[in-house]
Amino acid sequence: MTTVYEAAALLPDPAELRVHLRALAVLDSTIGDDPQFCAYTLDADWGPDQEAALMDNGSGDDFSVHFTPAGVLIRGFDHESAMSPYGTDDEEVWPGVVDEVPAALRPLLDDPAFRDEGLDFTRVTVCLWRETGDTAWRTGSAIDFPAGHESPDGSGFLFHLLTDRSPEAVQAHFADYYERPVPLDAVRHVLAGHPVTPAIAAALRPSVERHPRGR
């Protein structure tokens, strides 16, 4: 079973995570031929002194990573998870997932962007946080995960490019998503933080008319 606890152990420090998420957004926007199909995006002005990295696969699964002066909050939602508020009798967030989120970061969970219209609960099945000055990622300490699921909270696939940040993993993801070859050297170039030159852009986005699978 893969859960938020394994993800917490594999995530890098906030500074490295921020750089990596920026690179994923750059890669997605460069490889893709239409911005509306990009799953990874970055909003540098999400709120006062806030930056948000977002992932939305267009199939009901999404995550957000909020960088604030108080720390970082990661919220993820797997729409097929047994821990989804939609799947519980009382339509409540699964016990323990967000109960221990620090007060300084808690308001981020109340953002209307993460609540579906007409519903009172936050769209969340997995949550991690790291306050400024902390040395480790934190999660709910005693979550009772439902049995019989490989990744009951969705963390295994939602965060797969955050826990495995290798160029090979990133290349494989985008090649599968866009259903065409993606050059590994160009992926390495962007992940290393180098600017996207015309040559790199041409390598990552040849002239194609197809759209990513499932969108």
- In tens, the pLDDT along 81-93 reads 999 999 888 889 9
Q: So what's the pLDDT on residue 111?
A: 94
Token pair 């993820």 is at which residue? 76
Could you tell me the pLDDT band of residue 118, with boundaries at 50, 70 and 90?
Answer: confident
Query: What distance, in Å, lies between the first and last C-alpha atoms of the chain?
Result: 29
b/e sequence 203-215, b meaning 16+ C-beta within 10 Å: bbbeeeeeebeee
**Residues 134-163 pLDDT 10s:** 999 999 999 999 999 999 999 999 999 999
Distance in angstroms (rounded) separating the CA atoms of residues 129 and 141 = 12
**Residues 9-48 pLDDT 10s:** 999 999 999 999 999 999 999 999 888 999 999 999 999 9
Q: Tokens at residue 191, please?
A: 């992940």
Q: So what's the pLDDT on residue 211?
A: 45
Q: List Cα–Cα distances, 184 to 46, 59, 132, 154, in angstroms.
A: 31, 27, 34, 27
Contact at 8 Å (CB) between 38 and 27? no
Q: So what's the pLDDT on residue 207?
A: 67
Res 3 pLDDT > 50: yes
Could you tell me the pLDDT band of residue 215, with boundaries at 50, 70 and 90?
Answer: very low
Region of poorest pLDDT, from 51-60, 87-96, 175-184: 87-96
Q: So what's the pLDDT on residue 208?
A: 43
Average pLDDT, the chain: 94
Contact at 8 Å (CB) between 85 and 91? yes
Q: So what's the pLDDT on residue 188?
A: 98
Question: How many other C-beta atoms can be found within 10 angstroms of the C-beta atom of residue 36?
Answer: 8
Nearest of 41, 63, 68, 80 to residue 127 by alpha carbon: 63
**Residues 177-210 pLDDT 10s:** 999 999 999 999 999 999 999 999 999 998 644 4
pTM: 0.94
Contact at 8 Å (CB) between 97 and 141? no
Contact at 8 Å (CB) between 126 and 155? yes
Q: How many separate helices (H) and strands (E) can be counted in the chain?
A: 7, 5
Token pair 């339509």 is at which residue? 91
Q: So what's the pLDDT on residue 209?
A: 43
Q: So what's the pLDDT on residue 89?
A: 81
Res 116 pLDDT > 50: yes
Q: So what's the pLDDT on residue 206?
A: 84
Q: So what's the pLDDT on residue 210?
A: 43
